[in-house]
Every structure is written in C-alpha cells, then in structure tokens.
Amino acid sequence: MGRIPGLSASPDREVPQSQLRSSRGPFYREGHAVYEFTRDEFVGAREAMLQHYHIKGAPQWKEPPEFESRPKEHQSLYQKILCAMKAFPFRSFRTTSPFLPEAMVAQVYEIARPGDILVQRRDGAPQLEFAGKLLWNCNWIHAALYVGNGLIIESTRGGVELRPLDNFLRGVNHAALARPQYKSDEDREAVIGYTMSQVGKPFDSGLDITEDGRQYCTELLYRALQKMKTPPQIPLRKMLGVGKEIVTADDLISIPGTRLLWASEDPETTYTIFTPVRNALSAILSPHQHRESPLSPPFRGISGLPGKKQIPGSS
C-alpha cells in the first residue's frame, strides 16, 4: 500500500537531527526527513493497515500491560531467571556502548522492504543478554517483521503490535536486517497478512511454540513464514532452561536462502560469551555513562540484539 492515511508529514512536525535523541516519538519518515506524530495519529495509521489486510476483530490499541507472571511451579528456568533479574540492581545497565547512530538508522530505511526480518540487541538489557548468550549462545535476542511504510510488527511483553520502525531502532546498540527468499509477491503478502492478523494476541512468556493463542517474538515470525506456498525449513532448538523446543532470532536470519542485507556489526566476531560480563562491569565502573532510551513508554518493549561495523555487501 502507499502512504498511510493519517500520517501526512508537514514541516511543523519535522524533527531536527540534533533533537532526535531527546524527542519522544513515535516517528515516521519520508525520504531523509523524520516527522513526529501523536499517539492518536499513529492509532489511526494502525487501523488503516488492519483494513488494508482485511483484518477484522483486532483489539483497540492500548498501553502494554505489565509482563505476565506465572506461578513458580509452572515457570521454566528462563522465566525464573527473568523474575530474579527484576531485583538485580543493574537491571537497566548504564551501558557505555553507543546507540545506533542516525546514519545507520537511515541506512535501514533505505534498504528495508516489506517482509524483511529485523533483529536487535541492547547492551543495557542484562536479563536478555545473559539468558541469550550464556544459556543459549545466541547473538540476537529479539526479532520483528518490517511491513512497509516505516512500520514493523513485533511481539513484546505487551503482545503482538504494530509499531514504528524508528522506535524499534532507537535506544538499541546493535541491529541487523535480513530478507527471506520469497518466491513470489503472494508469499510476501501471506507472511505480512498473517502477522497483521495476530495483532492483539498476548505475549507467550512460556516460550511454548505449540500454543498458537500466544506468540513470542520469534514464534510470530516462524509461524508467519510457514504461510508461504513452500515454507522454509526452520530448525527448532531444545534450549537449556526452557525444557522445550524454541526458535531463535539467529535461526530466522540463518534460514537457507535468506540474505543478510545489513548489520551494524558482525556478531560472529565481535559478540562473544564474555560480552555480557564486559557490559556488566562497564555498568558498574562507569555509572556516569548512563544513556537513557529515548523511546516513549507506549512504544517501549522487550528489545535486544547485535552492532557497529557494516558487513561487506550490505549496501
């Protein structure tokens, strides 16, 4: 579809480059210009996308609820670790790693096409870093699907929701963009249409890929890719601490035929098992380096994944 109704950029909404870090968003882009919109305008754009894909019955947009808690006897080791980390004094690290610079954010906008997969990692998210790298040896912790018009669909603790791409990229330290091997426009539309149909579904904190009433971030994309005429073979892993098979963000961008188009760094050479420990020490030793995420509360979510060098061939 073309321009989203309700998001008509005007000069008085343009955010100067010097103010992007302090502006609260949500953001929308046209060319190299960045515009800021109100919550109501974004909700209107969300409704337009749902109508475009003939999605009926999706709940109204609302603020993300608190992360669901389950009785301890039903929690996996992963859930217990997350709960324990809530009391950790450095739950939000004072990371010394820089956020993605504006030039990199602009690169993603230029390269991204509907149906592309985005992954990210935040150095200041210890729950995700330690669980992802130390328990599962994953380079990427969170994934989303780009659906065009500067928008993505992701599943965070608030459930499956449509959000601005700008807010997915801001306040993170590392990110990458990959393109699955779509054999036709019908395949691409089927994948995007499925993710749109899941808007409003709750987050699957139990990481149970057999439960289709709830979706965790990579499960959402896994199920969406199965809607292609010839679905790709996506490996499932039995993960330490979960006790069941799950799909990771690393698996999604490693599907045969999937092309890594852009990355802020090569995680295979720069992100090691010692990186979370280094980030923790950095947080303790350099408290004055704290960098607060610029995202407004309605658009915050579980974020986390790699970056700072552009991989050859990503342009």
Q: What is the DSSP string of 66-81?
A: PPP---GGG--HHHHH
**In the CATH scheme, what is the code of domain 91-299?**
3.90.1720.10
Enumerate the β-bridge partners of residue 119.
143, 176
Better-predicted residue by pLDDT, 242 or 37: 37
Structure-model confidence comparison of residues 182 and 239, the more confident one: 182
pLDDT value at 297 more than 50: no
For the cut 70, the answer to whether the pLDDT of residue 232 exceeds it is yes
Rounded to whole angstroms, how far apart are CA atoms 121 and 174?
Answer: 5
Question: Which residue is listed with tokens 């004055």?
Answer: 288
Confidence of residue 108 (pLDDT cuts 50, 70, 90): very high
CA–CA distances in Å: residue 97 to residues 125, 278, 280, 291: 12, 11, 11, 9
From its phi and psi, is residue 289 left (phi > 0), alpha (psi between -120 and 50) or beta?
alpha
Percent of the chain with pLDDT over 70: 62
Bridge partners (DSSP) listed for residue 153? 145, 162
- The token pair that represents 271 in the structure block: 């992100």
Contact between 81 and 242 (Cβ < 8 Å):
no
Average pLDDT estimate for 26-46: 77
* Residue carrying the six token digits 């993603």: 108
Tell me whether residue 102 is exposed, middle or buried, using C-beta atoms within 10 angstroms of its C-beta: 0 to 12, 13 to 18, 19 or more. Answer: middle
Amino acid at residue number 1: M
Mean pLDDT of 95-117: 84
What integer pLDDT is reported at residue 216 of this predicted model? 93
pLDDT at 139: 82
Let me know: does 304 contact 142? Beta carbons within 8 Å. Answer: yes
More confident residue, 22 or 270: 22
pTM of the model: 0.75
Cβ-contact 41, 5 below 8 angstroms = no
Given a cut of 70, is residue 136 above it in pLDDT? no
Percent of the chain, pLDDT > 90?
28
Greatest mean pLDDT among 88-97, 155-164, 215-224, 237-246: 215-224
- Predicted pLDDT at 290: 38
Residue 205 is predicted with a pLDDT of 82
CA–CA separation, 282 and 131 (whole Å): 18
Q: Given pLDDT bands bounded at 50, 70 and 90, which one contains residue 60?
A: confident
b (16+ CB within 10 A) / e for 116-133: bbbbbbbbbbbbbbbbbb
Amino acid found at 95: T
Residue 32 has pLDDT above 80, yes or no: no
Domain boundaries defined on the chain: 91-299
CA pair distance 152, 117, nearest whole angstrom:
9
C-alpha distances in Å from residue 63, one per residue of 160, 296, 297: 12, 11, 8
- C-alpha span between 236 and 207 (Å, rounded): 12
173: exposed, middle or buried (Cβ count in 10 Å: 0-12, 13-18, 19+): buried
Would you state the structure tokens that stand for residue 10, as one six-digit string?
């005007």
